[in-house]
Chain A
Amino acid sequence: EAGVAQSPRYKIIEKRQSVAFWCNPISGHATLYWYQQILGQGPKLLIQFQNNGVVDDSQLPKDRFSAERLKGVDSTLKIQPAKLEDSAVYLCASSSSRARGEKLFFGSGTQLSVL
């Protein structure tokens, strides 16, 4: 079974530039998550999709971050404009349902450095 795919693996940009990350979840997984993991901290949920609808984006900085999941499969996360504090690893995860206790499968992440 193929895992969660993310690209690019690394990205270096200057502040105020824009950047986009892509995620392809495990086939058939209806629930998709984007997490931000700052160095030395645990991952923090940015946004959760159920199929192509948003179920939780309460911690997404909507003035600069946006995400979409067209057709309920792939997803993209965009930052525009980037700030220094956005330097982090961005993790995508998927699960077969949104039930409490459901196992999440994580991708390897995109490491973003904002200079």
Chain B
Amino acid sequence: AQSVTQLDSHVSVSEGTPVLLRCNYSSSYSPSLFWYVQHPNKGLQLLLKYTSAATLVKGINGFEAEFKKSETSFHLTKPSAHMSDAAEYFCVVSTRTGGGNKLTFGTGTQLKVEL
């Protein structure tokens, strides 16, 4: 079975400093991995996805993630945090089931951005 583990439930950074949200995956074959963001009272929004092309994936709002097979990691980074980045972030792995595309979510990392 495929799964993801988000290593931090809460991360707090100052505005203008780098962001690092950590995710490790478990998969028996090359996975499809995603990062989704959830702002309060809003729907989940795709930040970026990895589907076996370039290992460094660039997403929206200046976020990027690097797929590292040797470390089974897919950490999310941003060089400079903005107040609007405060939200919950989910690392997600996609599994092909009998006819379907099943997304398995991590437990989430709450990002707090302080002035």
Interface size class of B (residues with CB under 8 A): 20 to 34
Q: Which residues of B contact A108 (CB under 8 A)?
A: 41-43
**Binding site secondary structure of chain A:** loop
The smallest C-beta distance from B92 to any residue of chain A, in angstroms, reads 8
Tell me, yes or no, whether B101 is within 8 Å of chain A by CB: yes
Docked pose: A16 CA to B72 CA in angstroms = 44
1/0 contact string of B84-106 vs chain A (CB within 8 Å): 00000010101111111111111
Contact of A106 among B44, B98, B106, B108 (CB under 8 A): B44
Most buried by A among B96, B97, B106: B97
A-contacting residues, B22-65, CB 8 Å: 32, 36, 41-46, 49, 51
B95 contacts which chain A residues (CB < 8 A)?
Answer: 100
Interface residues on A, range: 20 to 34
Cα-based distance from A104 to B37 in the complex (angstroms): 12
Contact A103–B101 (Cβ < 8 Å): no
Kindly name the residue among A41, A45, A101, A103 whose own CB sees the greatest number of chain B CB atoms within 10 A: A101
Query: B100 to A98, Cβ gap below 8 A?
Result: yes
The 8 Å CB contact of B102, one of A45, A91, A107, is A45
Contact A102 B101 (CB under 8 A): yes
Residues of A with Cβ closer than 8 Å to B? 3-4, 31, 33, 40-45, 48, 50, 55-56, 91, 93, 95, 98-109
- Chain B interface (Cβ < 8 Å from any Cβ of A): 32, 36, 41-46, 49, 51, 90, 92, 94-108
Nearest first, the 3 closest Cβ-Cβ pairs linking A and B are: A42-B105, A106-B43, A101-B51
